[in-house]
Amino acid sequence: MVLWVHASSQKAIQDALRRFAFEQTGSDDHVVGKQWLTNFRAPWLLVLDNADDPTFNLSDYIPHNERGFVLIASRNPDCEDLATVGSEHLGPLEEKEACDLLFARLGSSRKWNDSARQDATEVVKMLGYLALAIVHAAAYLKKGLCDISDYPVMLGEARNRRRLLNYPLIQRSESYASSTYDSLELSTHHLKSLSTQQAQDSLELLRILPFLHVVGISESIIATAVANITTHENYDVTQSSGASSDSSKRVPKPAGSPGHTPALQWDRIRTREAFNLLASYSIISKRRFDDFRDISIHPIVNMWMKDRIHVELQGPALRSAYLILCTSISRSADVVALEFRRFLLPHLDACIGPRMDEVFGLLLTDCHLLCESSKIVLAFSEGGRFDMVQRLETQIWKMKTESLGKVHPQTLQSMSRLAWNCHQLGSYTEAANLGERCWMMQKDELGESHADTLGSMGNLCVYYRKVGKIDEAIQLGESCLGMIKDTYGADHPDVFTLITNLAWSYSKSGRNEEALQLGQEAWEKTRSELGEEHDGTLFPMCNMAWYYHRLGRNVEAAQLGERCWAIRKRILGKEHFNTLGSMCDLAVYYDKLGRVDEAIQLEEECLKLRRHRLGDEHPNTLKSFHNLSGYYDNLGKIEKAFRLQEVCLVIQTRVLGIEHRDTVKSRDKLEEYRIKMMSA
């Protein structure tokens, strides 16, 4: 005997057992129905379907009988506790299974070509390989309302998603009528019906989570945000985020200021209870029941979270998410803070990337948020995301100029950061011009010994070196170094940074022994202060390798270069801007040691990654073109060398101009290859 019970609520189970009891005994008591199954001597199967409600004890309705079996279908992972013979997690389909399901629903008689199969793969990928969503997609496509190739585009548009994912299954063979969105809405309706703090916290999290990346969500984002908040009195850190205050939901002012209130404290238990309640409805997923550091959201659930926020409430919800991310970032240079900023990058991308204009709109109306955005810029810059930095910092500088004035210290800080990012993007002349203006304005407004003024002065040394003004770079660097030592002492961190930059300028001017001596001092100091694997240590370490190379000590250069590249790959990732720099340098050392094949292998990979990350016109990409051409020349493959140098020359002529020194150098090299090819 099989008894199928719709178990979505306590009442539904009781009604089903009551009907069963009436059929078997004439009683309308659900307890009698359960008891009858307990005493029944023949084999039976009880199916409890859609048992998703975590607010009541399901075991109260399970009969115990050696001849009987109970099968529970639930999105609530807590139901695993009731299993006596095991449980099975039914996740998304495999890609082939998902495509097969889509084609089966569309009609097996039709012939599907390779192009249609590629389109189907894109459809099921966007649907997260979720069977229910695929069924509804097939129903929409089968009506001819759009072509399979158009479906991903329509699904990507918020105004279409609810219609697509809720498309009715009129002629369905299944009894399950809910659509993907409907089933999720049932969960939120149930949460709203609860009067517990846990449910309110969970609903508030639903406003924040859709603005984060779908994987790698951690409670530490909320925890560090609350820990770092000290000044913004209007920031509504609600109780739902795990923040609690005895007197107010607003962030307190600093101690000693008017109206100061006790600092907020992160409530770990409340935050975890809210996450657990969402997990019980399968709205979020956790790798382990006790792991709150790696929470994920199915892509379709993420779409639903975004679409359920009313258009008038999307701005406040985005503001909450943006400010939580902002305040979770510390400007500290310690390893823990650096690692957290790297961890946060996918979430910053998810929050800001698709809605840059909306973020700018928020910054226009919130001066504190505008100032806090410098921490977002810091995270993107450290992650090598200079494109995002440029868009953000340009707009932030303009906004600060309008709201604070063009000579306000924070406006000048933005101007200085923008100049540095121009340098990172390879726009060296623009960086030098902007950097000069900023330094002069800071000298006039803040004084020449102010920390911001000296910082801009040190950066200007780098820009001068990049545009070929080596003597000016050295003169300015030596002057800046003396001023920092006099003002802040010889052990100030900026001293080590400036020594590193000055050593590089010495090397560019041919003063390689002095460069090595200065570089050794900077490396030893930063290594003792920050540790060998800190970003601030890796720069002088990599520079030391280059100084060895300039002195012809390429064995030592390669050994140090290998260490630096390995550390950066592990810490920053193989595609990071600085990792690619180490990779390119190491290829140079290998080439000088006669390991040309290894040099080519490294530089080819470096060129590929730089073209992808930086574009063909970035100076570092052009450097890889030029270097790789030289390695092929050393290997005797002149035709390959010629083709690479030709590409490099075309780009340099377009970007730098025909008279630029790098363009002239490439043109001379190309002529050299042409002569070699003619004489071969």
Residues 251, 232 contacting (CB under 8 angstroms): yes
Indicate if 67 and 135 belong to the same structural domain.
no
pLDDT per position as a tens digit, 298-357:
888 888 898 888 888 888 899 989 989 998 998 887 778 888 888 999 999 999 988 888
> In which band, very low, low, confident or very high, does the pLDDT at 253 lie, cut at 50, 70 and 90?
very low
Flag whether 26 is in a domain: yes
Summary mean pLDDT of the chain? 84
Flag whether 483 is in a domain: no
Indicate if 598 and 667 belong to the same structural domain.
yes
Flag whether 302 is in a domain: no
Looking at 145, 177, 209, the residue that finishes a domain is: 177
Q: Which of 50-64, 184-198, 246-260, 456-470 has the highest mean pLDDT?
A: 456-470
Flag whether 603 is in a domain: yes
pLDDT confidence of residue 168: 67
Residues 579, 563 contacting (CB under 8 angstroms): no
Looking at 29, 50, 82, the residue that finishes a domain is: 82
pLDDT confidence of residue 289: 59
> In which band, very low, low, confident or very high, does the pLDDT at 401 lie, cut at 50, 70 and 90?
very high
Which residues are registered as beta bridge partners of 45? Answer: 2, 69
Indicate if 34 and 140 belong to the same structural domain.
no
Indicate if 557 and 675 belong to the same structural domain.
yes
pLDDT confidence of residue 109: 52
Q: How far is CA 525 from CA 333, 361, 493, 501, in A?
A: 15, 44, 9, 14
User: Token digits for 481?
Assistant: 């170094």
pLDDT confidence of residue 193: 85
Helices then strands, each counted (H, E), the chain = 30, 7
Task: Show the 3-state SS of 55-72.
Answer: CCCHHHHCCCCCCEEEEE
Q: List, in order, residues 6 or more apart from 312 with CB less than 8 Å away.
A: none
Strands (E), 336-385: none
Which of 641 and 109 is assigned the larger pLDDT?
A: 641
Flag whether 562 is in a domain: yes
pLDDT confidence of residue 639: 93
pLDDT confidence of residue 572: 85
% residues pLDDT > 90 (the chain): 32
pLDDT confidence of residue 135: 84
The size of the chain, in residues, is: 680
Q: How far apart are CA 39 and CA 3, in angstroms?
A: 15
User: Token digits for 267?
Assistant: 């409530």
Mean pLDDT score, 438-449: 95
Indicate if 136 and 77 belong to the same structural domain.
no
pLDDT for residue 37 is more than 60: yes
Indicate if 571 and 638 belong to the same structural domain.
yes
Helix or strand holding residue 313 (H, E): helix 311-328
pLDDT for residue 5 is more than 50: yes
Residues 351, 214 contacting (CB under 8 angstroms): no
Q: How far apart are CA 359 and CA 337, in angstroms?
A: 24
pLDDT per position as a tens digit, 152-185:
888 877 777 777 777 666 555 454 446 678 778 8
pTM: 0.70
Indicate if 630 and 590 belong to the same structural domain.
yes
Task: Show the 3-state SS of 527-580.
Answer: HHHHCCCCHHHHHHHHHHHHHHHHCCCHHHHHHHHHHHHHHHHHHHCCCCHHHH
What percent helix, strand, coil does the chain show, rounded to 5? Answer: 70, 5, 30
Flag whether 522 is in a domain: no
Indicate if 607 and 651 belong to the same structural domain.
yes
Residues 277, 266 contacting (CB under 8 angstroms): no
Indicate if 556 and 673 belong to the same structural domain.
yes
Residue type at 144 in one-letter notation: G
What is the DSSP code string of 634-663? HTT-HHHHHHHHHHHHHHHHHHT-TTSHHH
Q: How far apart are CA 185 and CA 300, in angstroms?
A: 13
Indicate if 6 and 54 belong to the same structural domain.
yes
pLDDT confidence of residue 246: 34
pLDDT for residue 99 is more than 70: yes
Looking at 82, 110, 129, the residue that finishes a domain is: 82
pLDDT confidence of residue 235: 37
pLDDT per position as a tens digit, 261-308:
334 466 888 888 889 888 888 888 887 656 667 889 988 888 889 888
pLDDT confidence of residue 505: 92
Mean pLDDT score, 202-225: 89
Flag whether 155 is in a domain: yes
Q: List, in order, residues 6 or more apart from 481 with CB less than 8 Å away.
A: 495, 498, 499, 502
CATH number for the domain spanning 661: value is 1.25.40.10
Mean pLDDT score, 119-146: 85
Indicate if 672 and 568 belong to the same structural domain.
yes
pLDDT for residue 260 is more than 60: no
Q: How far apart are CA 252 and CA 525, in angstroms?
A: 39
Residue type at 129 in one-letter notation: Y
Flag whether 38 is in a domain: yes
Q: How far apart are CA 501 and CA 194, in angstroms?
A: 61
Q: List, in order, residues 6 or more apart from 261 with CB less than 8 Å away.
A: 245, 246, 247, 248, 250, 252, 253
Residue 466 CA, chain-centre distance (Å), reads: 31
What is the total count of domains within the chain? 3
pLDDT for residue 248 is more than 50: no
% residues pLDDT > 70 (the chain): 91
pLDDT confidence of residue 405: 92
Which domain covers residue 128, as residue numbers? 95-177
Backbone CA torsion sign across 549, 550, 553, 556: negative
Burial (CB < 10 A; 0-12, 13-18, 19+), residue 436, is middle
Mean pLDDT score, 644-673: 90
Mean pLDDT score, 463-473: 93
Q: Which of 85-89, 163-167, 633-637 has the highest mean pLDDT?
A: 633-637
pLDDT per position as a tens digit, 539-573:
899 999 999 999 999 999 999 999 999 999 998 88
Q: How far apart are CA 31 and CA 25, in angstroms?
A: 12
Q: How far apart are CA 12 and CA 380, in angstroms?
A: 51
Indicate if 104 and 173 belong to the same structural domain.
yes
Residue 145 CA, chain-centre distance (Å), reads: 35
